[in-house]
Amino acid sequence: MAEHIAALVTAPELVRLIGTPDLLLVDCRHELTKPLWGAEVYAEAHLPGAVFASLDRDLSAPIRPGTGRHPLPTAAEFARTLGRWGYTPHTRVVAYDQGPGPYAARLWWMLRALGHRAVQVLDGGLAAWVRNGGALNTATPAIAPTEVAPREFVGAVSSAEVERELAAGRITLVDARGADRFAGQNETVDPVAGHVPGALNHPFSGNLAAGQQFLSPAELATRWASEIQRAQAKPLVAMCGSGVTACHNLLALELAGYGEGRLYAGSFSEWITDPRRPVATGVE
């Protein structure tokens, strides 16, 4: 699909799109502390025609020794998932979650990393849809599976690359976790607290306005001005705890005019699997 499509779609815009050909809605709702919650609330009610994407099973591979908590699936695994959803190169994909957008942004980045441009995140998620009078239902859509050719993710950065590029001073590494976890405080998810030495902290929550919707492009450009300036000389790589909320920052950066940044998919949870890798605490 050659037509340029914005990274975000509003609820009123999506209301008008429902029922159009080649539209694929993907429900990406998830809670890190309740892995089954997304599937449960999808069964209770979802956007008409939406399929469900499990962060753990569809948007991630199983955890293995040396990986983070949400490693990217292989090209073949993700191709099978897309085929199960009836995806084709002509599909317009709209991903949504409960509101803030990090899980929907993970699917957005994955498809963009395959070269698929016609993918959007519903700004404000299901909450915005309901506020704007959008309908919900419980029906499981009947989908004709498709054959999808496996393609590798472009822009995914490994731990070895992060180590090498940081040591050479060639990248701007930005961590999307909250300031407390970045500083090594109140860590409840990973067994080691702190951050990758040399990383900058830009919590993904700073991309959002009231109603859990994204700030305007102008406001995002102001919020990200320092990192964008650094990235002119040292290209930006986004990270977080496990490569999910980092995608929210990459979406915000595109809205702000930076373009496409790269993703350290393993992120901090993979970084700390090797005790040789240093960890910093506090605010640098």
- C-alpha 221/C-alpha 228 separation (Å) is 8
Strands 23-27 and 51-52, bridge-based pairing? parallel
CB within 8 A of 220, min separation 6: which ones?
207, 214, 252, 253, 255, 256
Q: Is 5 within 8 Å of 92 (Cβ atoms)?
A: yes
Task: Indicate if 28 belongs to the active site.
Answer: no
- C-alpha 115/C-alpha 129 separation (Å) is 28
- C-alpha 97/C-alpha 27 separation (Å) is 6
Q: What are phi and psi of 137, to 5 degrees?
A: -150, 180
Catalytic residue of the set 127, 240, 250, 272: 240
Hey, how many other C-beta atoms are within 10 angstroms of the C-beta on 56? 16
- C-alpha 22/C-alpha 144 separation (Å) is 12
Beta strands across the sheet bearing 236-239: 156-157, 262-264, 236-239, 172-175, 200-201
Helix (H) or strand (E) holding 236, with range, is strand 236-239
| Helix, coil or strand: residue 281 | coil
Name the CA radius of gyration of the chain, rounded: 18
Known catalytic residues? 240
